[in-house]
A and B are shown apart, each in its own frame.
Chain A
Amino acid sequence: MFSYLVNRVFQAVGVLLVVALLSFVIFNYVGDPINNMVGQEATLEDREELRERLGLNDSVLVQFLRFVANAAEGEFGISYQFQRKVSDLILERMPATLELVFVSAVIALAAGIGLGVFTGLRRDSWLSRFVLTVSLVGVSLPTFVIGILLIYIFSVGLEWLPSFGRGDTVRIGDWDSGLLTGSGWLAIILPAITLGLFQLTIILRLVRAEMLEVLRTDYIKFARARGLSRRAINFGHALKNTMVPVITIAGLQIGTLIAFSIITETVFQWPGMGLLFIQGVEFADVPIMGAYLLLAAIAFVAINLIVDLLYAAVDPRLRVSAQRGKGTA
């Protein structure tokens, strides 16, 4: 278990270093950090002095290490378009995105696993076929189209739900929460469904496929032969065995939610990091792009690590082989 974990952590750090390097390259070579700081009017001497002061004349390795150290402290420089510290901008926007992703993830996981199990067990019922057909449509609907359709139906047509913004927020320390007010909940419904629907369909189809696969295995056949109740077989034996692959994909899908929140936030003018990022891309605002890339990578790597831990919790074979690995190492 321990060596397995160490191994995964090393991998995660490796991925982060590569992404940090990319991010560093974007910062230093794509944008011009001097222009960024002093604007076009500065004299050549001013620039040279600033270069020296910022350490841009140091070796690349030193610069990279400094970049990593700064990033570790949350220091990503100053946004071109907003003329503010990127770290401040991101901190302001982060709660909105995280709350949106959280609510979507809950929707996607709960509904995805529930419907996946149902369609896997009752594979020939008309309701399953219906759900599957709808889910295929769901996979084919681009996120922004889902958002627009929902706005058209629930905001323009029925006028039930707001089409943009977060509603009223409550400030707790550094965190602006929209989950404590009625208008906040109303505002999050459409964006959360929009963001979660695609992931929901992916998880649904995966759970169903795994369920069908597991139901064919010998141990399920043997469980039937032992005369266990249908409930015990389906939910005790089959579902647990589908969980290993489902955890992997579901974990990755939750990571994808963060990326797709860029689109959802654009459709609903949701004041989160995604909206900030897309503005960054539009205006070639390099510090914002680089910082977002690094933060997103950290989030994905963290999710992957959690997935690996969950793995070991579900599958005893992994626990033991990891222990053996430690024993012989």
Chain B
Amino acid sequence: MNGGAARALLDVRDLKVGLPTRRGPLAILNGVDLHVKEGEVLGVVGESGAGKSITGLAVIGLLEPPARIDGGEVWFDGARIDGLSGDELRRIRGARIGVIFQDPLTSLNPLYTIGFQLTETIRTHMDLGADAAEKRAVELLDEVGIPAAASRLGAYPHEFSGGMRQRVVIALALCANPRLIIADEPTTALDVSIQAQIIGVLKRLCREHGTAVMLITHDMGVIAETADRVAVMYAGRVIEDGTVAEVVRNASHPYSHGLMGSIPTIGARIGRLPQIRGSMPRVGAVPAGCAFAPRCPEVRDLCRAERPVMMDGKATSAACWQYSPRWSDTAAAAGGAAADG
């Protein structure tokens, strides 16, 4: 796949996640394909509800029951990790895959000092004595830029500001030198002025340690600045995958195109940011063909009838019929999206 399959650190293939409900199962992820190579930063973007966070949780086996993996495969470092037992997955989490969640204010246990939480994590995954673990904890706090790290080990989470807490959370994710970090909206809950700092810390540390990152966010600005490659998600699938520059400047999928169009550019004088008409279909109400068809300006009959797979687009790959040889055979639908909008 994309020639990178052999080198992929994380490879997610056709991942399906469902939620059994009293009105039948609800499909939350409808076959997600994505991969993260060693040391690279993959940005995963999409509107809220597109399935970004669920993908992250499913990879590390932290889906909240009753949500569950209904199909597909997750490969990490050459081994299949979906369907591993809880204990085997636990040994991967924190040790080889670190995780950062959205809200630093609630990610830390309020009743324990951060020193305790750090050494606890370190000693769970590394064979270190109490003193060595504490030393490592201080180093980590130092690395994430917490001033006077040694003296802050005894402090409780509420004694830190939001930005500082997120640095602690990053330190916690890095405790055991993981190969991959899944960062789920790491800066969304923070003050704008702090966001850049935190992203900076994350980027620097991962480069230094050679850690790969799966950066989940809806903030294209963060992606553009940080990521090497981007996967765009829509209605529970990845619909475009390519390098940041190409996706931002020359998106293949009409949805990505619209999404990039809504990034404000400094200096460009436009009256109003363009927006994509309509809204993403609700979970469980995804149309049979291409999920984006009802909103797509280019829609044709084929789009409504069949779901497109990933194919080579302009410079990226995209799940869009435009890049299929069959595109020319199908007639443009009369009216197109305008009639649906």
Contact = CB atoms under 8 A, between A and B. Distances in A.
**Touch between A and B in complex, CB under 8 Å?**
yes
Interface of A: 217-219, 221-230, 232, 236-237, 240-241, 314-317, 320
Contacts of A230: 86-87, 90
A219 B60 CA distance: 16
B94 A221 contact: no
B262 interface: no
Contacts of A227: 90-95, 121, 124-125, 176
Nearest to B110: A317
B111 A316 contact: yes
Given A229-B124, A317-B156, A224 B93 contact: yes
B109 A237 contact: yes
Which among A227, A232, A316, A320 has the greatest number of chain B C-beta atoms within 10 A?
A227
Interface in B57-76: 60, 62
Given A227-B93, A241-B110, 9 more contacts: A219-B106, A222-B101, A226-B124, A226-B173, A227-B121, A230-B86, A232-B120, A240-B112, A316-B111
B198 interface: no
Contacts of A240: 109, 111-112
B62 A224 contact: yes
Contact of B110 (A219, A225, A228): A219
Interface in B158-198: 158-159, 169, 172-173, 175-176
Nearest to B118: A226
Interface residues of B, number: 33
The 9 closest A-B pairs by CB, nearest first: A227-B94, A225-B99, A218-B106, A227-B93, A226-B94, A222-B107, A316-B156, A219-B109, A226-B121
A226 B99 contact: yes
A212 to B, nearest CB: 13
A221 B101 contact: yes
A245 to B, nearest CB: 13
A232 B125 CA distance: 13
A228 B121 CA distance: 7
Which secondary structure characterizes the binding site on chain A? Answer: helix
A63 B106 CA distance: 56
B103 interface: yes
A218 B156 contact: no
B108 interface: yes
A225 B93 contact: yes
B156 A222 contact: no
B101 A315 contact: no
A221 B62 contact: yes
A223 B62 contact: no
18 contacts: A219-B109, A221-B101, A222-B107, A224-B93, A225-B60, A225-B101, A226-B94, A226-B124, A227-B93, A228-B120, A228-B121, A229-B124, A232-B124, A240-B111, A316-B156, A317-B110, A317-B156, A320-B158
Contacts of B101: 218, 221-222, 225
Contacts of A320: 156, 158-159
Which among B98, B110, B125 has the greatest number of chain A C-beta atoms within 10 A?
B110
A154 B66 CA distance: 45
B81 to A, nearest CB: 13
B140 to A, nearest CB: 13
Interface in B33-77: 60, 62
Interface string B125-169: 100000000000000000000000000000010110000000001
Contacts of B173: 226
Contacts of B92: 227
Given A237-B109, A317-B110, A320-B156, A222 B169 contact: yes
Contacts of A241: 109-111
Contacts of A317: 110, 156, 158
Nearest to A217: B106
A139 to B, nearest CB: 28
A225 B87 CA distance: 12
A204 to B, nearest CB: 22
A228 B94 contact: yes
Contacts of B87: 230
A228 B124 contact: yes
A155 to B, nearest CB: 46
Which among A225, A230, A232, A236 has the greatest number of chain B C-beta atoms within 10 A?
A225
Contacts of B121: 226-228
A228 B124 CA distance: 6
A229 B90 contact: yes
A315 B103 CA distance: 21
A273 B62 CA distance: 55
B110 A316 contact: yes
Nearest to B106: A218
B107 A219 contact: yes
A225 B109 contact: no
Contact of A223 (B109, B156, B159): B109
Contacts of A218: 101, 103, 106-107
A217 B32 CA distance: 27
Contacts of B94: 225-228
Nearest to A224: B62
Given A219-B110, A315-B111, A317-B110, A226 B156 contact: no
